[in-house]
Each structure stands twice: as structure tokens, then as C-alpha cells.
Amino acid sequence: MKYLEEFRDVATVKKMLYKLKLESNKKIKIMEVCGTHTMAIFRTGIRDLLPDNIELISGPGCPVCVTPQGYIDTAIELSKREDIIITTFADMMRVPGTDSSLQKQKALGANVRMVYSPLDAVKIAQDNPDKEVVFLAIGFETTIPTIALSVKRVEELNLNNYSILQSLKTMPATMEGLVLDEEIEIDGFICPGHVSTVIGVKPYEFLAEKYGVPAVVAGFESGDIVFALYKLLKMIQDREPKIENVYSRLVKYEGNQSAINIISDIFEVTNSQWRGLGEIKGSGLKLRNEYQNIDTEIKLGISISREKKLKGCICGEVLKGKKTPLECKLFSKACTPVNPIGACMVSEEGTCAAYYKYGKK
């Protein structure tokens, strides 16, 4: 804890902010890709303390927010079956499908259980041999290694009543998609810290080398974020795009090799559907052929529903950083954390939820 306090030290962070103001002279747009960064930025009030020429835009890094509505609808349909137990990370519970949510289904008697890890879901499968236990496998590289571990565990235990409904995403390909999107101008990225603990720094290097966009891997304390902004500002002003790591206390250049290995053992790259962004090439992962018996869609002979567009909701543009929640007609009126319409309002990490919670109404 004491170690962490240094990254929260108010005097130090204020000094850094002062330096940032002193040295910034160019209008720049920085995207924080990760939802936890979005929350941290709001929680600490950093946004209000930045010089006017630095604009922070929130990216598509909240795993719940980018999960397509069709996926939620499919999970809801499965939850209606007597022979199925749905297991899920907690913040998927409130995500609205077309007509319901898992929370509502649970209230109506569906067997939906919140777990902290897919390994807990495997245990539920062991304890309920007469039920099919479906784990809602969503998220980025942060959660994928434990999902891969659950697949390995199922193989070891020879369990045949566990499967995963997949909507797994990878971060670097998505960032490339954002750089290539002509409607979005991004001068630099704050890369997600948690994802980087797994994949390391190397996978982002193409951003600087291929596209000239600098990026900084950062932690989540105020000191981490302000320091990352300062580094980005310097690189942009000096026209020296690089990938910097200011989260070296947890992130190694090469990442966590055993986590990377287990991911590639179990999964292979595929295209992926993102809520509001459509399909992004090479931005998803799917089970390798030898694990198809653990793929819920194949096992149960179903396919994930097509996404229906939510009327009036601009989550797609918000996820791309094209618009802020304040530009959405539904924000804080029809769409609130109590009654979320778009996914960005559902998850604690969602941009709309952060804007609402931290008072940008």
C-alpha cells in the first residue's frame, strides 16, 4: 500500500500537472482506451485540471460495453432453459438485451449465478452434473487467461457439462481500427494497464512505427495518468512517437509469457462483433478446433443473435470517441444507471456511467 501511495501523492501530481500546463501549447486529443482509466480520470477530477488544449476521449475499453446486444439476447434465451445454469461476471447482469436482462431473468427464476472467475463456474459444473453450465466469456486479454485456464481445467476433469459463450476481444487490433477510422482523430493513446500486464508493451509498437501515433502504458493512480499524459505531450510536441511504459512496476516489455502461451494454446484469432462498432477484423478470439466441445454455440446448436440497433442510443459513437455522452438525447433522461438503455451506461466502467456518476450531467 505504501508503495502505491507514492503514485497518489497529491503534491507530486500537482507538480506534474503544473509542468504539463507550462509545457503544452498544441491542441491534442488523447484517448484513454480502458474503462478503468475512464473511471480513474473522473474519480480524481483530473479532467478538470488539465490545460484547455488537452482533450481526453474515452475509448472502447469496457468489456461489458462492447459486448453486442445480440450476445446478451442469446444469453437471456439460454437462461430460460431449465437444463442450463448461466454463470457470468457480475457487471453483465444489468446489461439490457432487447426485452430483458439477466438480472430480470434471475428475478423470474432463471438459474443465473455471478462468479468472480470462470474457475468458479467450472466448480458449479462439477457440483451440477445434470445441468449444462454456460460461462459468458467476454472481455479482453485481462480475463482471457483465466477463461483459457477454465477450458484446461475442464479437459483435466473430463467434464462434459461446461461450455463458454464467446465474445472475447483483443485490444491492439481494436486500436488499429480506431487509428484507421478517418472520422476519429487521435494524437496519442493511454494504453490499458491491466491488459498490458498480460500482453506486455510490444504489441502496441505498430502504433508508433506504422502510424506515427505515440502511446503510453499506464497504471490507474492519478500519478500514473498525469505522468502518461506528460510523456504523450512531449512525444507529440517533439514529433517523436514511441511506445512508453510508465507502469513498469507491473508491466514487463514482453508481458506475462505463461498467460500469453495459455491464450494461444486454447484460442485463435478471429474477427469480432463489437457493440456499436460492427465487425473489426482480427480483433477477437475463438476456441481452437480441438476445443469445440466447449463452444456453447456448437455444442447447443445455436448461433448468437444479430444485433438490433437501439433507437436513439449513440453508444457506438461514444465507444469510438466520436461523441461524448452529453451529445446523446437519451443520456441522463431516458438512459440512467437505474434504467440503462445503452451498454455504456450499464457497466461501472462505461463512459456514460462515468459521466453520469461523476457529475457530467
Partner 1 sequence: MDVITLAHGSGGKLTHQLIDGIFQQYFDNEILGQKNDSALLPEVNGKIAVTTDSFVINPIFFNGGDIGKISVCGTVNDLAMSGAKPLYLTVGFIIEEGLAIEDLRKIVKSIAKTAKEAGVKIVTGDTKVVEQGNADKIYINTTGIGVVTRDIYIGGEMAEPGDKVIINGTLGDHGASIMAQRGDLDFDFSTESDCCLLNNLIEDILNTSNNVKVLRDPTRGGLATTLNEIASQSQVAIELEEEQIPIKAEVRSLCEILGVDPLYLANEGKVIVIVSEEDVEKVLEVMRKNPMGEDAQIIGTIVDSNDSNVYLKTGLGGTRILNMLAGELLPRIC
Torsion of CA 12, 16, 21, 24, to 10 degrees: 180
Give the count of residues interacting with partner 1 (CB under 8 A): 47
Residue 119 and residue 152 in contact, taking contact as beta carbons nearer than 8 Å: no
Cα–Cα distances in angstroms (integers) from residue 289 to residues 3, 97, 123, 170, in the given order = 45, 29, 24, 19
Q: Candidates 116-124, 149-157, 166-174, 248-256: pick the segment binding partner 1 (CB under 8 A).
A: 116-124
55 part of the interface to partner 1, by CB under 8 A? no
| Nearer Cβ to partner 1 (83/127) | 127
CB atoms within 10 A of CB 91: 19
Residue from 37, 194, 286, 320 binding partner 1 (CB under 8 A): 194
CB atoms within 10 A of CB 359: 9
Taking the complex as a whole, how short is the minimal distance between the CB of residue 212 and partner 1, in angstroms?
Answer: 30
CB atoms within 10 A of CB 337: 16
143 part of the interface to partner 1, by CB under 8 A? yes
Residue from 196, 349, 351, 352 binding partner 1 (CB under 8 A): 349
Binding track over 163-182 against partner 1, x by CB under 8 A? --------------------
Cα–Cα distances in angstroms (integers) from residue 191 to residues 31, 86, 243, 279, 298, in the given order = 9, 32, 9, 22, 34
Residue from 55, 114, 155, 206 binding partner 1 (CB under 8 A): 114
What phi, psi does 168 have (nearest 5°)? Answer: -90, 140
| Nearer Cβ to partner 1 (208/343) | 343
Q: What is the DSSP string of 295-349?
A: BHHHHHT--PPPPPPPTT--HHHHHHTSS-GGG-TTBTTTB-SSS--SHHHHSTT
| Nearer Cβ to partner 1 (175/208) | 175
For residue 357 the three cell numbers come to: 456518476
- How far is the C-alpha of 315 from the C-alpha of 13, rounded, in Å? 32
Amino acid (1-letter code) at residue 64? V
- How far is the C-alpha of 68 from the C-alpha of 20, rounded, in Å? 38
Taking the complex as a whole, how short is the minimal distance between the CB of residue 66 and partner 1, in angstroms?
Answer: 11
126 part of the interface to partner 1, by CB under 8 A? no
Residue from 85, 92, 186, 201 binding partner 1 (CB under 8 A): 92
Residue from 24, 32, 36, 204 binding partner 1 (CB under 8 A): 36
Taking the complex as a whole, how short is the minimal distance between the CB of residue 293 and partner 1, in angstroms?
Answer: 26
Cα–Cα distances in angstroms (integers) from residue 128 to residues 122, 133, 162, 182, in the given order = 10, 8, 10, 50
14 part of the interface to partner 1, by CB under 8 A? yes
Taking the complex as a whole, how short is the minimal distance between the CB of residue 336 and partner 1, in angstroms?
Answer: 7
β-pair type (84-88, 132-139): parallel
Residue from 8, 19, 80, 308 binding partner 1 (CB under 8 A): 8
Tell which residue, 116, 117, 95, has the closest CA to residue 106: 95
337 part of the interface to partner 1, by CB under 8 A? yes
- How far is the C-alpha of 266 from the C-alpha of 287, rounded, in Å? 6
| Nearer Cβ to partner 1 (62/328) | 62
274 part of the interface to partner 1, by CB under 8 A? no
207 part of the interface to partner 1, by CB under 8 A? no
| Helix boundaries (H) for 89-238 | 102-107, 118-127, 144-157, 171-180, 193-199, 205-211, 222-237
Residue from 120, 155, 185, 297 binding partner 1 (CB under 8 A): 120
Taking the complex as a whole, how short is the minimal distance between the CB of residue 101 and partner 1, in angstroms?
Answer: 11
Q: Candidates 138-146, 179-187, 297-305, 322-330: pick the segment binding partner 1 (CB under 8 A).
A: 138-146
Binding site for partner 1 (CB under 8 A): 1, 8, 10, 13-14, 17, 36, 42-49, 63-64, 89-94, 103, 114-116, 120, 123, 138-140, 142-143, 194, 222, 336-338, 347-349, 356-359, 361
